A and B are shown apart, each in its own frame.
Chain A
Amino acid sequence: MQHTPFYQKHLEAGAKLVDFAGWEMPIHYGSQLQEHKQVRTDAGMFDVSHMVVLDLQGTDAKPYLLKLLANNVDKLKEPGKALYSCMLNAQGGVIDDLIVYYLSETSYRIVVNAGTRAKDLAWMQQQLQGFNAQLTERSDLAMLAVQGPNARAKVFSLMPADEITIAEPLKPFYGAQVGTWFIARTGYTGEDGFEMMFPAEQADKVWDALVGAGIPPTGLGARDTLRLEAGMNLYGTDMDETTSPLVSGLAWTLAWEPTARDFIGRKALEAEKAAGVQQKLVGLVLEGKGVLRNHMKVVCEAGEGEITSGTFSPTLGLAIALARVPVACGDHCSIDIRGKLYPAKVVKPVFVRHGQSVLS
């Protein structure tokens, strides 16, 4: 089992550790519900060092990404600007979802999922052929996400003034190099905050400082309920190589213009659209008591679907889910829970933003 630079800190903090894609990671440090609430109302930190940081450099870095990614890196004009994109196979299936940061026309930083590391690297290297660019894995970096309404202020309380002048003006979805650190105003919780990459040897010191500033550690359990409340997809659960972005609530990440940009998967997606997209990813809210779980069957008038991510929303006190259903599915459906059908509302796939319910 692999360990991040914070492994010892997890043990000291009383983490319950689980196997996550070959990494021994904290699922919680006592109470997942309490950690969830901590992030929604104050600030918490997540060890995300298992995620894969890649630096792409070379004169062909941009043309390579224009082909590799379904979103268009040509949208990135300002240094530090981030873009969320799917990386597709030729059939339009999702190999992974990722964030790419524009540093210059010849330099990008890319963050991909831990569970897909090997196949992502193989695919990205294979597609590099013919391009003058190199990919370098930055396993020398540790990565922490600090999230919550008070997260940024608490981080600033630890920073020297010259670093605050760089980090404080960062707009959402922008990052910047701050000394040996890379700090980005991004995250996976629906709250404000930073994702921070820094040399792994600083891990202990950074952890202690953040805890001292009132940012307690938060496990992957709360990370999952937070991202689901925020309506953010999880790779391998809500989409994978057998599903296209069109049936995964990710059509907004596809850049069709300019039409001449022939990104991998484009032709398959165009064919899927021309034939008529059959399914959609929606949000579900269970009307009564209970908990929605992955793979539960969804029954609506237009046919059947399946829950891709289900949970109990700590913020709402209700069961919520993302589900893939027939495109004609209306506002109401039923969920098969242990053989009985229970009514649920079909909603836009976002439930909580900045601590507040967005359900009408």
Chain B
Amino acid sequence: MSKVPANLKYADSHEWVRDNGDGTVTIGITDHAQALLGDLVFVELPEIGAILAAGDECGVVESVKAASDIYAPIGGEVFEVNHELGDSPELVSTDPYDAGWIFKLKLEDANQVADLLTAEAYGELVASEA
């Protein structure tokens, strides 16, 4: 079974969102998403300064077998990306919720975090897709 940490929020496009409590969030792809892709070999990071609306394509994760878009789960401005992934894309596979984070957003509306899926709801979504 894939891990779904209870302290995070989720999007149905399989990103996780960590509320940093200061109007910013950290975003990555879920354990379930990385497991479906297999060994990751390349991450195309979002551009710093990009203004994203919820649902916008903003990057790509690529495994040996497939490429998968990364979507913004929530609207905001990209202010930091995980440059470690340039040389070590496998961090997304081995540590998706911590060292494998992908980008950070400055939120346009911090209240929108509440609209994302809870861990429980995301866990049910994953179970229903299995």
Contacts and interface: CB of A to CB of B under 8 A. Distances in A.
Contacts of A319: 42
Contacts of B60: 338
Nearest to B36: A16
A33 interface: yes
Q: For chain B, which range describes its interface: under 10, 10 to 19, 20 to 34, or 35 or more residues?
A: 10 to 19
B62 A291 contact: yes
Interface in A31-46: 31-34
Nearest to B35: A16
Nearest to B62: A291
A16 to B, nearest CB: 8
Contacts of A31: 38-39
B42 A221 contact: no
A291 B39 contact: no
B101 to A, nearest CB: 19
B82 to A, nearest CB: 14
B41 A312 contact: yes
A289 interface: yes
A312 B86 CA distance: 15
B80 interface: no
B49 to A, nearest CB: 18
Interface of A: 27-28, 31-34, 221, 225, 289-291, 293, 311-312, 314, 319, 338
Interface of B: 38-39, 41-42, 44, 60, 62, 64-65, 67, 86
29 contacts: A28-B38, A31-B38, A31-B39, A32-B38, A32-B65, A33-B39, A33-B41, A33-B64, A34-B39, A221-B38, A221-B64, A225-B64, A289-B42, A290-B42, A290-B62, A291-B41, A291-B62, A291-B64, A291-B67, A293-B67, A311-B64, A312-B41, A312-B42, A312-B62, A312-B64, A314-B41, A314-B64, A319-B42, A338-B60
